[in-house]
Amino acid sequence: MRHILFYFLLISNAVFSQEKKEANTEFWGLKEMIKQGLSAQKENKHERAIRDFKLILKIADVEFKHTEDYADLLEGYAVSSLALRKPKGLIKKYKEALRIREKLNNITKLSSIHLNISNYYQKTANYNLAKKHAIEAFDYAFELENSDLKLRTLETVLNLNLNKKNNSYFKKYVDLKNELIEKNTEINKKADRYSYLSTEKDKEISLLKKDKLNLQNKIHHQENTTFKLGVLSFFILLLGLSVFIFQKNKIKKITLASDLKDRDSKELLAAFSKKLFNVRKNLTSFGRNVDEKELNQYSFYLRELEVIEKEIKEL
């Protein structure tokens, strides 16, 4: 990946150096290469970091086109080389990076490079210059709101045993430590408060999810009940309709049978009446030739037949 970025930078520098869009692309590639080197440095992989920095230094005119990144590159190279105990020629790179930092007036990076130069002089046993750059790093750091950088510079100053102003530096160190402790305490309180609120919120969300699930189950149960009632109502309606049709057909059959019975009764009555009429007629004509006793007997039979005829009519 590193070599791909490097060759990409070389090609873009050689071919597209005059065009704005390609210049921006080159700038991005340079940033990525430096970022990779610094990342390796933070992981104490200093040999890999130096290889990355050397690759970038091969790019033509990098110190003129990307001045601030060039200063980062020089400082990073010097820091990793010193970590590998290779101090030779490093002060030249530090001073070049310092010159660029002073020109750009980046307070944070000025404090950082003075701190690194102080570290260089400590390791090369030049304590006077180490003290000088440590104090300069401290002065720049206290123009910033970066408590971590302030603490690092103060620790460096105190470790160098500056006797003249040791008490004042120590007091500032203690005050800063107390300030950081208070800040950490406040941060911890906020973190605890956030954790508590987060826990309460999680509980609330859990309850809401539970309520939602219960509501969904209730709705599902109601839907099932409604569906079952609908099916039951349909079957009841179907059963009622079947009973209605059955009763209607039954009534129709009964009515038809009754009509048929009435018709048969009427026909029977008509036939009986006709026969009765003929019998009465015959008896009337027959009565002229019989005695009174026999006539009374036939008359009795005739009345009985009339009673039967009347009963048939009443049916």
The domains of the chain are located at 2-105, 199-314
Alpha carbon distance 28, 10 (integer Å):
13
Fold of 2-105: 1.25.40
Amino acid 99: pLDDT: 93
Stretch 28-44: mean pLDDT: 81
Does position 21 have pLDDT exceeding 50, yes or no?
no
Amino acid 96: pLDDT: 92
Amino acid 235: pLDDT: 84
Q: Would you give the end-to-end CA distance of the chain in angstroms?
A: 119
CB 95 within 8 A of CB 120: no
CB 156 within 8 A of CB 129: no
Amino acid 234: pLDDT: 85
List all residues 6 or more positions away from 58 whose beta carbon is below 8 Å from its beta carbon. 6, 10
Give the model confidence (pLDDT) of 231-260 as tens digits. 888 888 888 888 888 888 888 888 887 777
Give the model confidence (pLDDT) of 171-180 as tens digits. 777 777 777 7
pTM of the predicted model, to two decimals?
A: 0.52
Does position 14 have pLDDT exceeding 80, yes or no?
no
Top-ranked range on mean pLDDT: pick from 27-41, 67-81, 108-122, 287-301? 108-122
Phi–psi pair at 194, nearest 5 degrees: -65, -40
Amino acid 11: pLDDT: 45
The chain-wide mean pLDDT, for the chain, equals: 77
